[in-house]
Amino acid sequence: MSLTVNSLRTALVPLSLALAIGGVGGFIFDWLTMPLAWLIGAMCFTTTAALSGVRMKIPAPLRNAMVMVIGLMMGSSFTPEVLDRAGQWVPSLAMLMVYIIVAGGLLFIILYWKFRYGLATAYFSAAPGGLNDMMIIGSAFGGDERIISLSHSVRILVTVLIIPFWFRFVYDYVPASNAATFGTFSDISYADLAILVACAVVGYAVARLMRITAAQLIGPLVFSAAVHLLGITDAKPPGLAITVAQWIIGAYIGSRFVGVSIRRVADVMATAVFGTVFLVVMAAFFALGLERLTGLPFTTLLLAFSPGGLPEMSLISLSLKADTAFVATHHLARITVIVILVPVVFRLIRGRFGERPGKTLD
């Protein structure tokens, strides 16, 4: 009996701490009318606590459930009207591929030659792909998975901080509440709610069977997009569900820094901050050029090219009332291209560069 109680306490205490600390951060940022308050507030407070030695954890299944909500939300932005505009996205999608090559390639060279990372570590730390994908593939090629994962964790953290605050203090944007943007549970019928839940569950199951990367996001997104494009429903997840998803995902990002010693990894974290700022600045240059070329809004293009995670950037685009379907499509294209092509390109360049001992956390 005591073993069961101890096991339960061991599981619940870290979760409760993460939720409580993240909740305080979200509430304070919301009170200050900060952009994406519940995501960024929870992320900032839990990151600070984790780096201070607080032991906390958001279980992956809980985080995945919240990501499914984000997938439903993203899919609901795909309407028949979106298809009419899809042809306008070809130039920006083409330039996105150029951005991946130029920005990722330059950052790789900087990490390899200037910061003395090992070849695989530098390459997969520089590639603006998904955290889990780059960590798994990078370690398979001999990279230091701790440096790779830390680099991408910091990239997501810094990108999510930079972009919303740029809009807040440069464009003087004051975000609306999630309830005002998405409505409440009373605004959605039981039938529509059942359709959304089915899209989440079935979409996730099918995506897992197909071994699709980020199945918890892509599956619900695709199924939600399908029912909205077909006109079966026009319902969106309620604002309260979006707020809870932001809160838990923010706490999850911060809790990933548990066990990280600032003193030991300060150099790697500083390098990751530099790399993130470099990628965001490059994204801004590409967005400015495309704005002149296509007439598409700079703000939407910047969100589409920014090197953040797909769930986080989609949340930001919704909070800032950008074209979420446009942003989501570009991030899906970025992640897909990187997962498919990055390992192939690495095999080609490995012989040209040669391997040498690089920086590690040992």
**Helices 119-126 and 324-353 sit at what angle, rounded to 10 degrees?**
170
Q: What is the pLDDT along the chain (362 residues), one digit of tens a residue?
A: 454 656 666 778 899 999 999 999 999 988 887 767 888 789 889 988 988 889 999 998 998 899 899 889 878 878 777 777 777 888 999 999 999 999 999 999 999 999 989 999 999 999 988 776 787 678 788 888 778 878 888 888 888 888 877 777 776 655 555 544 555 666 788 899 999 999 999 999 999 999 876 788 889 989 998 999 898 998 888 888 888 998 998 898 888 888 877 776 788 889 999 999 999 999 999 999 999 988 888 989 999 999 887 777 777 777 777 788 888 888 888 887 887 788 889 888 887 776 666 666 55
pLDDT computed for residue 282 by the predictor: 96
For 286, the enclosing helix (H) or strand (E) is helix 262-294
102 touches 281 (CB < 8 A): no
Rounded-to-integer distance, Cα 253 and Cα 247, Å: 10
Q: Kindly state the DSSP code that residue 186 receives in the 8-state scheme.
A: G
Total residues found in the chain within this entry: 362
pLDDT of residue 143: 87
| Sign, CA torsion 105/108/110/113 | negative
What pLDDT is recorded for position 180? 46
Q: Which residues contact 288 (CB under 8 A, 6 or more apart)?
A: 298
Q: For the packed helices 324-353 and 298-305, what is the interaxial angle rounded to 10 degrees?
A: 40
Residue 211 pLDDT: 83
What is the pTM (predicted TM-score) of this model?
0.72
Task: Give the 3-state secondary structure of residue 330.
Answer: helix
Cβ atoms of 35 and 167 within 8 Å: the answer is yes
State CA 217 to chain mean position distance: 11
What are the extents of the domains in the chain? 62-353
- How many distinct helices (H) and strands (E) make up the chain? 16, 0
Contacts of residue 231, defined as CB under 8 A and 6 or more positions apart, other chains included, come to 80
How far is 95 from 33, CA to CA, in rounded Å? 34
**Sign of dihedral through CA atoms 136, 140, 145, 150?**
negative
How many alpha carbons lie under 13 Å from residue 359 in its C-beta half-sphere? 19
Q: DSSP per residue over 20-88, as a string?
A: HHHHHHHHHHHHTT-TTHHHHHHHHHHHHHHHTT------HHHHHHHHHHHHHHHHTT--HHHHHHGGG
